[in-house]
Amino acid sequence: MKPWEVILQRACTASGLNSSEWEQIAASVRERAFFSAEVTSTKILEEMKANVVAMLKDGKSASEIRRDLRTMLFGEGYQPDEQWEGTIKDLRTKARLDIIIKTNTDQAKGYARLVRDTRAGAILAFPAYRFVRRQNRKAQRDWATRWANAAKAVNYEGVAKNGEMIALKTSPIWETLSRFGTPYLPFDYNSGMGLQDVKKSYCREIGLLGEDEQPKVPKLPDFNEGLKK
Amino acid sequence: MKLKLKIKDPERKLLGNEDVMMQAASAGVKALLREHLEQKHQGTAPNRYGLPKSNYYSEAAKHVESEVNGKRVTVEVDYPGIALHYDGGTVYPKKKALAVPINPAVAGIWPSEYGREMFVVWPKGKKTGLLVGADANDEDRIGHALYLLLPKANIPEDKSVLPTDEQVLNAAEAAIWEALS
Query: Both B169 and B125 in a single domain?
Result: no
Q: Domain of A142?
A: 122-205
Query: Both B69 and B96 in a single domain?
Result: no
User: Residues A194, A133: contact at Cβ < 8 Å?
Assistant: yes
Reported as a single tens digit per residue, the pLDDT across A53-76 is 999 999 899 999 999 999 999 999
Confidence label for A218 from pLDDT (cuts 50, 70 and 90): confident
pLDDT at B5 over 50: no
Instruction: Tell me whether residue A105 is in a domain.
Output: yes
Reported as a single tens digit per residue, the pLDDT across A74-101 is 999 999 999 999 999 999 999 999 999 9
ipTM reported for the complex, 2 dp: 0.87
Single out the residue of A213, B16, A194 nearest to residue B24, CA to CA: B16
What is residue B12's predicted lDDT score, i.e. its pLDDT?
45
- Would you call A121 and B108 a contact, using CB atoms and an 8 Å cutoff? no
Query: Both A105 and A133 in a single domain?
Result: no
- Would you call A121 and B55 a contact, using CB atoms and an 8 Å cutoff? no
Can you tell me the distance from the alpha carbon of B170 to that of B159, in angstroms, rounded to the nearest whole number? Answer: 18
Query: Both B104 and B83 in a single domain?
Result: no
- Would you call B80 and A59 a contact, using CB atoms and an 8 Å cutoff? yes
Query: Both B17 and B79 in a single domain?
Result: yes
B109 touches chain A (CB under 8 A): yes
Single out the residue of A7, A55, A62 nearest to residue A33, CA to CA: A7
Residue in chain B closest to A92 (alpha carbons) equals B113
Count of domains observed in chain B: 2
Of residues B11 and A19, which shows the higher confidence score?
A19
Can you tell me the distance from the alpha carbon of A65 to that of A47, in angstroms, rounded to the nearest whole number? Answer: 10
Confidence label for A222 from pLDDT (cuts 50, 70 and 90): low
Residues of A in contact with B178 (CB under 8 A): 124-126, 199-201
Instruction: Tell me whether residue A219 is in a domain.
Output: no
Residue in chain B closest to A124 (alpha carbons) equals B179
- Would you call A120 and B23 a contact, using CB atoms and an 8 Å cutoff? yes
Q: Name the percent of chain A in helix, strand, coil, to the closest 5.
A: 45, 10, 45
Can you tell me the distance from the alpha carbon of A34 to that of A45, in angstroms, rounded to the nearest whole number? Answer: 7
Of residues B137 and A186, which shows the higher confidence score?
A186
Count of domains observed in chain A: 2
Contacts of A85 (CB under 8 A, 6+ apart): none
Reported as a single tens digit per residue, the pLDDT across A117-153 is 999 999 999 999 999 999 988 888 999 999 999 999 9
- SS3 label, residue B137: coil
Q: Domain of B49?
A: 2-88+156-180
Instruction: Tell me whether residue A171 is in a domain.
Output: yes
pLDDT at B95 over 90: no
Query: Both B161 and B147 in a single domain?
Result: no
Reported as a single tens digit per residue, the pLDDT across B100-121 is 999 988 989 999 999 888 999 9
Give B156→chain A minimum CA distance, Å.
22
Instruction: Tell me whether residue A225 is in a domain.
Output: no
Give A62→chain B minimum CA distance, Å.
8
Query: Both A175 and A108 in a single domain?
Result: no
Query: Both A135 and A189 in a single domain?
Result: yes
Query: Both B13 and B33 in a single domain?
Result: yes
Residue from the list A59, A63, A199 with its beta carbon closest to the beta carbon of B178: A199
Instruction: Tell me whether residue A93 is in a domain.
Output: yes
**Domain end call among A65, A91, A112:** A112
Can you tell me the distance from the alpha carbon of B175 to that of B88, in angstroms, rounded to the nearest whole number? Answer: 31
- Provide the 8-state DSSP code for A146: H
Query: Both B39 and B106 in a single domain?
Result: no
Q: Tell me the pLDDT of chain B averaged across its residues.
A: 86
B125 touches chain A (CB under 8 A): no
B52 touches chain A (CB under 8 A): no
Reported as a single tens digit per residue, the pLDDT across B39-87 is 998 777 767 777 877 889 999 999 998 888 887 888 999 898 999 999 9
What is residue B17's predicted lDDT score, i.e. its pLDDT?
79
Confidence label for B90 from pLDDT (cuts 50, 70 and 90): very high
Query: Both B131 and B165 in a single domain?
Result: no
Query: Both A176 and A99 in a single domain?
Result: no
Give A63→chain B minimum CA distance, Å.
5
- Would you call B22 and A121 a contact, using CB atoms and an 8 Å cutoff? yes
- Would you call B110 and A64 a contact, using CB atoms and an 8 Å cutoff? yes
pTM for this model (two decimals): 0.88
Query: Both B14 and B70 in a single domain?
Result: yes
What is residue B28's predicted lDDT score, i.e. its pLDDT?
96
Of residues B17 and B37, which shows the higher confidence score?
B37
Query: Both A86 and A127 in a single domain?
Result: no
Residue from the list B62, B113, B178 with its beta carbon closest to the beta carbon of A125: B178
- Would you call A196 and B35 a contact, using CB atoms and an 8 Å cutoff? yes
- Would you call A120 and B26 a contact, using CB atoms and an 8 Å cutoff? no
Residues of A in contact with B28 (CB under 8 A): 125-126
Query: Both B118 and B167 in a single domain?
Result: no
Query: Both B59 and B138 in a single domain?
Result: no
Using alpha carbons only, give the angle A86, A90, A96 rounded to the nearest 5 degrees.
Answer: 100
Query: Both A79 and A136 in a single domain?
Result: no
**Domain end call among A112, A136, A160:** A112
Residue from the list A94, A135, A197 with its beta carbon closest to the beta carbon of B27: A197
Q: Which residues of A touch B (CB under 8 A)?
A: 2, 59, 61-64, 66-67, 70, 94, 106, 109, 112-113, 116-117, 119-122, 124-126, 134-136, 194, 196-197, 199-201
What is residue A226's predicted lDDT score, i.e. its pLDDT?
52
What is residue B14's predicted lDDT score, i.e. its pLDDT?
44
Give A106→chain B minimum CA distance, Å.
8
Instruction: Tell me whether residue A133 is in a domain.
Output: yes
Instruction: Tell me whether residue A51 is in a domain.
Output: yes
Query: Both B10 and B48 in a single domain?
Result: yes
In A112-214, DSSP assigns E strands to 128-133, 166-168, 193-198
pLDDT at B136 over 80: no
Burial A196-222 (b: 16+ CB within 10 A, else e): bbbbbebbbeeebbeeeeebebeeeee
Reported as a single tens digit per residue, the pLDDT across A205-215 is 999 999 989 99
